[in-house]
Amino acid sequence: MTRYVEGPVRVSVPATSANLGPGFDSLGLALTMRDELEAEVTGSGLVVEVTGSGADAVPRDESHLVVRSMRAAFDAMGAQPPGLRLSCANVIPHARGLGSSSAAIVAGVVLARALVAGGTLLMDDDAAFALTARIEGHPDNVAPAFYGGFQISGREDDFYSVGSPVDPRVEAVVFVPPTPVSTEVARGLLPADVPHADAAADAGRTALLVAALASQPEHLWRGTRDYLHQDYRRPAMPESLALVDALRADGVAATVSGAGPTVLAFTDASGAPALTARCPAGWAAHHLHVDRDGARVL
């Protein structure tokens, strides 16, 4: 018989930036901006409370992404509770390319596992991560949200993720525009095929980016040059790509974050203030660090 823990469980999950330029659908980095969620098993029903980003738009029923992810995890453990109460304090901007959906999915799976007595025995980390990736459909955001740090992920027979080091000098400024762009719209602009030379150039830049992040940040500008996806998405986010162009023209390693429209620029502690000052009017700039922890049960 399934036993559930008494009282609420709290979980914190970081924002993430995927692609990082050339690493399309394979590279992801966790950042120090976190959603916090709390859940507990109740006698019946479902109560969903949401504050912060997206609070006016997300549902409060079984279709809520965190709830759906919790249900999938409970199913995987053979343990659907009689009732649930969920409270979400959202900080990660929605539909801005900072992994809000992946954070919700990871939070749901981690919450469900923590609510079941012996949940980590029923679902280890590899199984929990694979479930989050199946729900999301691709692993590049859920991997760093779950594991933290810099993750290189993909799919063979199942999803995999391999952590890679990040030089402690590497920090980031993200520029968040006021208007969202859906991932579906951004993906819809991508062609079915790309020139072989562009694919080869992107592969080389991706390898360089891994090395640059690990220990040679002086190569981040060259390592973040993309040939596969950003320019194709320009019609959906012209202001974002204009900012990327302007920053890169000044030697800043800037990219579109995930599917956009947020722009991420790599920097160090000394360069962050001047970079933050370049935030366009009406946008929000956040100086962030690499989050090494991933999802945490508090």
pLDDT digits (tens, 9 = 90+) for 226-261: 999 999 999 999 999 999 999 999 999 999 999 999
Write the pLDDT tens digit of every residue in 5-56. 999 999 999 999 999 999 999 999 999 999 999 999 999 999 999 999 999 9
Residue-range domain boundaries for the chain = 9-165, 171-289
Residues making up the chain, counted from first to last? 298
68-to-8, 16, 154, 158, 225 alpha-carbon distances in Å: 18, 21, 23, 21, 37
State yes or no: 57 annotated in a binding site.
no
Nearest Cα to 19, choosing from 164, 139, 196?
Answer: 139
Could you give the CA distance from residue 290 to residue 148 in angstroms, rounded to a whole number?
Answer: 8
Residue 94 is labelled as binding a ligand = yes
Q: Is 81 annotated as a binding residue?
A: no
Angle between helices 100-115 and 125-136 (to 10 degrees): 140
The answer on whether 243 is annotated among ligand-binding residues is no
CATH number of 171-289: 3.30.70.890
- Residue 157's pLDDT band (cuts 50, 70, 90): confident
What is the residue-averaged pLDDT of the chain? 96
Q: Is 102 annotated as a binding residue?
A: yes
The span from the CA of 231 to the CA of 211, in Å, is 24
277 is in an annotated binding site: no
Q: Is 101 annotated as a binding residue?
A: yes
95 is annotated as contributing to ligand binding: yes
Of 3.30.230.10, 3.40.50.80, 3.20.20.70, 1.10.1740.10, the CATH number of 9-165 is 3.30.230.10
Q: pLDDT of 178-230, one tens digit each?
A: 998 888 888 888 889 999 998 999 999 999 999 999 999 999 999 999 999 99
The answer to whether 100 is annotated as binding is yes
Could you give the count of Cα atoms lying within 13 Å of 210 in the half-sphere of its Cβ? 14
Is residue 108 very low, low, confident or very high in pLDDT (cuts 50, 70, 90)? very high
CA atoms in the 13 A half-sphere facing the CB of 280 = 18
9-165 and 171-289, same CATH topology:
no
